[in-house]
Amino acid sequence: MKKISLLISALAGVLSFAQTSPLVIQNYSAYNAEGRMRTGLPGGASGPYMYAAPNLPYGTYTVPAGASTQYNTFSTSGTALLPITTWYVTDPTNPANNGAYAYNHPFISSVMNVTNVWAGFHFFLKDPVTGNGTDTYQIGDPTVDPWFTSSATGTYSSADWFTITTPSGPTTYLQIF
């Protein structure tokens, strides 16, 4: 009986850290958002985290001007409108896990989906024609990574990161205006 309660407690702990929310990104601006999309452990705990690989045809992870996309889970991110087909994993607690993984790799679905949440997006807004940069942001959840802020206003734009909870569950949004 003692072992069963221990197993149930451990399972509850793991599930409390599961990816709990889809991420919807809406770029309403006239600029491409180019940068690094990151995940992390809830509460800023130490452990594995990931960066999204560049989405083709771009050289960095990019949300084009006027585009929107939704990522339901890390392990289905390759099927989104702006697919993330590869995740770069960094694990300071176990460097053997470091490396590039396909979005549908078992490590992503069995470990990262269970432990990580969306952390944020560190990006520059760039003119899609000239490539000139305008504003830069580190938008995300400051409880996952204190370098992120949930809202900011630049010279030509603004960006917000927030979560809405409905009876069907939470959804996290990144909106760029």
For the chain of 177 residues, list the mean pLDDT of each consecutive stretch of 10.
Answer: 39 45 97 97 93 93 98 97 97 96 96 95 97 96 96 97 93 97
Q: Which domain holds residue 59?
A: 2-176
pLDDT value, residue 14: 40
The reported pLDDT for the residue numbered 10 is 39
Which pairs count as long-range contacts for 144-151, CB under 8 Å and 24+ apart, including other chains?
144/40, 144/41, 144/42, 144/43, 144/44, 144/117, 144/118, 144/119, 144/120, 145/38, 145/40, 145/44, 145/119, 145/120, 146/44, 147/120, 147/122, 148/119, 148/120, 148/122
Domains identified in the chain, total number? 1
